[in-house]
Amino acid sequence: MKEAFPKTLLPDFQHIDPKQIKDNINDLLNKNLTMIDKLLEQNGSYFGDNLMQPLEDMSDALHKTWSPVAHLHSVKETEALRKAYNETLPLITAYHTRLSQNTRLFEAISSIAERTDFKKLLPAQQKIIENDIRDFKLAGVHLSPEKKSRMAELQQQLSKLCTKFSENLLDATHGWTLHVTDENDISGLPPQARQLAIDNAKQRKLPGYVFTLDFPSYSTAVKFLDNRELRQKLYAAYTTRASDQGPNAGKWDNTHNIEAILKTRYDTAKLIGHESFAHYSLATKMAKQPEKVLSFLNDLLQRSKPIAKKEFDEIKTYAKKRDDIDDIAAWDVAYYSEKLQHEKFDFTQEDFRPYFPINKVLNGLFTLVNRIYGIHIKEEKNISTWDPQTRFFALYDSNDELRAGFYIDLFSRQHKRDGAWMDECLTRRKLSDGSIQYPVAYLTCNFMRPVDDQPALLTHDDVITLFHEFGHCLHHMLTKVDFLSISGINGVPWDAVEFPSQFMENFCWEKEPLSLISAHYKTGESLPDALYQKMVDAKHFQTGIQMIRQLEFALFDFRLHLAFDPDQPPQTQKILDEIRKETAVLKPPAFNRFQHSFAHIFAGGYAAGYYSYKWAEVLSADAYAQFEENGIFDPLTGKSFMENILEVGGSRDPMTSFVAFKGREPSIDALLRRSGIG
C-alpha cells in the first residue's frame, strides 16, 4: 500500500487571504532577521549545524509561505491579489538584499571555508558555501555603505519593473479580442478551434465567434484562417501587445519598463565591477565569457541560415503558386507553412488532436517514466488547489517509497499568465529531526481547454511542451540532495537547467513512447503508422527557420545586455533590427514589437541567458544519443541518467555530471544531426 502524500505539508490555496499576505510575510521576515542576529551574536566557531542549517530553515519557511502566493499571482490573479503581491514583493526584495549585503553573515560563512577541516564537510555542503561566497560578492557585500544603499535601490527598482512588465503583458493579452459573426470568416478553422471560438463568444454573451490573444486561440487562428485580413488583424494585435503600436497602442506600454530594466541591470553590473550585465550574468553560468556564447550562437547561425533561406523561398513559391501571392507578409508565413506541410506530407498538427486526449497522454507519460526510471505516479484526490481543473500527483520509487508530488494546471483561461513553465512549491531537504521534506513542483501549461463533451485534445507540439515541462519537474522531484539551496533545480547553472527538459522532448518522436501516449478519443485506436511516418518524414520541415528564430531571440537578448549604454539613445529596437538583418529571412513589419512581450528576459530569469535553450540542447541531444545506442527504455541507461543528472541537483558542476553519464564532454554533432542541419 503506497503512502498517501501528506496533505498537511501542502498549501491551502482555498484559504489564502490577500488581506493577510503582507502582514504574514512581514512578520516572518522580521522573525528571520531576529534569528540571524542571534546566530551572529555567538561569535563562536561556525560550521554546518550551527549556521548553515538554521539559515536553510529560515529560507525554507519563507519560500513555503511566499511560493503559493507568487504562484496564484501567475495562474489566478485577482485585483486584491495583485495589490497584495505588489505591496509585499518590495519587502521580500529588501530582505534578500539585506541578507546578501550582511558583512557579518558573509564573514561567518567565509570562516567555514577557511577552516582546516572544511574538506571534512560533505561535497554538497562545500558547494553551498562556495556558492554563497560567490553570491555575496555578486550582491555587493564588499561595497561601501553608500554603494550598498544604491544596490538595494536597484534591486527594488528591478523587482517592481519586472512585475509591471509581466502585469502589462497579462492585461494586454486579455485586453483585446476579435469578434466575428460571418460564418465565411472562419473558413479553414479546425473543429476544435472553431468550438473554442464559439465558447469564447458565449462566455462574453456574444453571437458568433471570438478570438483572443491567448496562445491556443491566436496560434491556431493565424495558422488556419483563410481570411487574410483577419490573420493580419490577429498578428498585429498579438505582436504589439503591451507596446506603443497596435490596436491598444500605449495602453499597457512596456517601452519605458524595458529601458528602465536594462539600465537598472547595467547599473547593478557596473556597481559590482562588471563591464556589462552580460558579464555579470555569466558569473553563475557554464559559459563564463561572452565570446564563448556569441561564438556558439554565430556558429549555429552560419550553419542554419542557408537552410532557412531555402525553406522561406519554398514558402514564397508555394504562396505564389497556390494563391498568386507576391508580397508574402509575416501574417502569411504560419498559414502557408501549414498548407505547404500538408501538401508535402499530407498532415497538419490538427490531425494529431484526436489521438492525444489529455488523460491518455498523461498516463502514457507516467508509464514512460516508470519504464525508464522505475518511478510510479499516482493521482491524489481532495487536495486543495486553485482551480477545479488542477490535479495533484504523487511520485513513488521502485520500492513504493514516497519521493515527491506535483500539481498540474494545463489549460488556458483568463487571469492566467501565458506560456508553459515549471516552478517549485516545496524543495527536498533533510530537516533538523532527520526526516526528509518531499519536493513538490507546479507544472503549468496553456493548452486548448476541453470543449463541449470532448476531453482536452493535444497537438503533437503540445505533447512536446508537456514533456519539456515534465522534464523540469523530474529534475526538481527526483533529486536526492538533502540541502535546500542545491536541491533539485536550485544551484544549477542557468545554461544547464534546460538540459533535462529538452532531453524529455526526444521521446515524443519515438514509435514506442508514442504508442503509450496515443489513443483516439472515440475509437481507442493508437496513432496510425501512416500518420506517425508522415510526422517523422516532416520532422525537419522548416528546421532552419525554427533554428534562426531561436537564435534571433538568443542573440538579441545577449547582445542587448552586452552592448547597452545608458548614455546613448534607446537602443532596444535598433539592436533588434540589427540582429534581424543577420538572422531573419523575412523582415517583420515596422509595427512589430516582439520585445514588449519577451517575458523570458524582461520578467523572468533568462536575461543574458536565453542562449541557454540552445546551449542545453547540445547536452540533451548528446545524452539522448546514449539512449538511442543502448535502447530508449534501457533500465541501466535510465538509472545512470537519473543518478548522474537528475538526482545530483546543483551539488556539482554540470559538466562533471555530464561526463559521469556520457564518459566524455558533449559534442554538438548530435544536436546538428537531430536538427537535420549537420
- The DSSP-derived string for 612-659 is HHHHHHHHHHHHHHHHHHH-TT-HHHHHHHIIIIITTTTSS-HHHHHH
Q: What is the dihedral of CA 452, 453, 454, 456, to 10 degrees?
A: 70
498 given a catalytic annotation = no
CA angle 341, 345, 350 (to 5 degrees): 65
User: Letter for the amino acid at 479?
Assistant: T
- Bridge partner residues of 424 (DSSP): 441
Of 331, 347, 313, the C-alpha closest to 460 is: 347
- The DSSP-derived string for 247-269 is TTTTTT--HHHHHHHHHHHHHHH
Phi, psi of 424 (to 5 degrees): -95, 135
CA-to-CA separations, 239 to 173, 190, 333, in angstroms, rounded: 10, 23, 14
**Grid coordinates of 464:** 512536446
Instruction: Report the Cα 559 to chain-centroid distance in Å.
Output: 21
Cα(301)–Cα(308) distance, integer angstroms: 10
3-state secondary structure of 213: coil
For 78, other C-beta atoms within 10 Å of its C-beta total 12
Phi, psi of 263 (to 5 degrees): -65, -40
CA angle 398, 404, 405 (to 5 degrees): 120
Cα(574)–Cα(244) distance, integer angstroms: 16
3-state secondary structure of 391: strand
Phi, psi of 657 (to 5 degrees): -65, -45
Q: Which residues of 639-674 are buried (b: 16+ CB within 10 A; e: fewer)?
A: ebbbbbbbbbbbbbebeebbeebbeeebebebbbeb
Cα(297)–Cα(552) distance, integer angstroms: 9
User: Letter for the amino acid at 49?
Assistant: D
- Helix, strand, coil tally for the chain in percent (to 5): 60, 5, 30
Cα(585)–Cα(574) distance, integer angstroms: 18
Phi, psi of 83 (to 5 degrees): -60, -50
User: Letter for the amino acid at 261?
Assistant: I
CA-to-CA separations, 70 to 155, 184, 218, 391, 487, in angstroms, rounded: 18, 43, 27, 19, 20
Helix 18-40 × helix 53-75 angle, to 10°: 160
Q: Which is the catalytic residue, given 350, 469, 505, 510?
A: 469
376-380 β-sheet, strand order: 376-380, 391-396, 402-411, 440-447, 421-426
H-helix or E-strand containing 342? helix 330-345
Contacts of 65 (CB under 8 A, 6+ apart): 24, 25, 28
Contact 534, 348 (CB under 8 A): no
- Bridge partner residues of 407 (DSSP): 392, 442
For 560, other C-beta atoms within 10 Å of its C-beta total 26
Residues serving a catalytic function are 469
